[in-house]
């Protein structure tokens, strides 16, 4: 399952057809899946490998009580996402394959906040930093931010990058 320390290039063993993907929340340093991110350091720019989903690793195993106990009792594992061993939350194969394909492309891959239409958000960077409003729509890493003037019953919308908004 998981070794005592997380190696950068963990090989996930393929099990039988009954095996499924599950998300595991850990205290381990997680390297998979990784993305390359440009970082500024005073007078230079570096390309760093960072986890796409910090704190999470995906394991492929056939769910059983014994397997659950072995994984959950591994040092550094906080929990396997789900209610109990017999009702774990599966990560669909298609989603994991999509993440693998996106990571393989490599260019401009980044995590963006989980926001949906209707969420109340605050802009955290740029000229509009500090403004609060609602998300009207999300598409292709962009969010349509709506600021409403209640007294006038009017709104104004602007499209912003999804990474500059956070849920309130």
Quick: pLDDT tens for 2-12: 433 343 333 33
pLDDT of residue 152: 61
Rounded Cα distance, 147 and 87, in Å: 41
**Residue 25 to residue 134: CA distance in whole angstroms:** 30
56 forms bridges with which residues in the sheet? 25
More confident residue, 151 or 102: 102
DSSP track, 22-64: EEEEESS---SSEEEEEEEETTEEEEEEEESSTTEEEEEE---
Read off the pLDDT of residues 4-33 as tens digits, 9 standing for 90 and up.
334 333 333 344 467 888 888 876 643 367
The pTM score is: 0.57
Tally the residues of the chain. Answer: 168
Which residues does 164 contact at the CB level (< 8 Å), separation at least 6? 123, 124, 125, 126, 128, 129
CA distances to 65, 112, 162 from 139, rounded to whole Å, are 40, 11, 9
pLDDT at 36 over 80: no
What's residue 159's pLDDT? 87
Report the DSSP beta bridge partners of residue 147.
Answer: 156
Provide the token pair at 80: 């396997």
From CA 23, how far away is CA 72, in angstroms rounded?
A: 12
Spatial CA neighbour of 141 closest among 160, 167, 154, 118? 160
**pLDDT, tens digit, 9 for 90 and up, residues 133-165:** 988 888 777 888 887 766 566 778 888 888 888
Do residues 20 and 37 touch, judged by C-beta distance below 8 A? no
């Amino acid at each position: 399952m998981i070794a005592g320390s997380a190696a950068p290039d963990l090989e996930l063993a393929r099990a039988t057809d009954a095996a499924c993907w599950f998300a595991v929340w850990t205290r381990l340093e997680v390297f998979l899946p990784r993305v390359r991110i440009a970082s500024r350091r005073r007078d230079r720019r570096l390309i760093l490998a960072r986890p796409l989903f910090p704190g999470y690793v995906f394991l492929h195993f056939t769910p059983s009580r014994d397997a659950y106990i072995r994984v959950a009792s591994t040092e550094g594992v906080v929990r396997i996402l789900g209610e109990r061993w017999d009702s774990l939350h599966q990560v669909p194969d298609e989603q994991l394959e999509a993440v693998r394909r996106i990571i393989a492309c490599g260019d401009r891959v980044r995590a963006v906040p989980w926001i949906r239409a209707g969420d109340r958000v605050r802009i955290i960077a740029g000229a509009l930093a500090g403004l609060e409003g609602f998300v009207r729509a999300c598409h292709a890493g962009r969010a349509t931010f709506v600021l409403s003037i209640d007294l006038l019953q009017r709104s104004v919308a602007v499209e912003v990058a999804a990474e500059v908004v956070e849920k309130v």
